[in-house]
Amino acid sequence: MSKFTYDDIVRVAEAADGPLRPGSIGWVVGVFEDRPPGAHFSRFPPGVVYTVEYEDGAANEIHESWLEAVPAD
């Protein structure tokens, strides 16, 4: 079961790798609980992978362990 769902606001953990933009805020725009086969998704550890779109419109696939919930105002 996924920790986040579509349109949730998340922050990339400070400990995440540089290309993932640690500390950045983004929105969940994709949830991969059952990952498609192939090299792209096999590079992630077991668990859910999300597509996160940053405030500037760029996006990355990020493993759930590198994401934190952003409390609603």
Task: Judge whether 3 lies within some domain.
Answer: no
Task: Judge whether 4 lies within some domain.
Answer: no
Q: What was the pLDDT predicted at 20?
A: 96
Q: The domain containing residue 62 runs over which residues?
A: 9-69
The answer to whether residues 45 and 61 touch, using CB atoms and an 8 Å cutoff, is: no
Task: Judge whether 1 lies within some domain.
Answer: no
Instruction: Please count the structural domains in the chain.
Output: 1
Q: What was the pLDDT predicted at 4?
A: 97
Contacts of 52 (CB under 8 A, 6+ apart): 10, 12, 26, 27, 28, 29, 59, 60, 61, 62, 67
Task: Judge whether 27 lies within some domain.
Answer: yes
Q: What was the pLDDT predicted at 23?
A: 97
Residue-level pLDDT, tens digit, the chain, 73 residues: 899 999 999 999 999 999 999 999 999 999 999 888 889 999 999 999 999 999 999 999 999 999 999 987 7
Task: Judge whether 59 lies within some domain.
Answer: yes
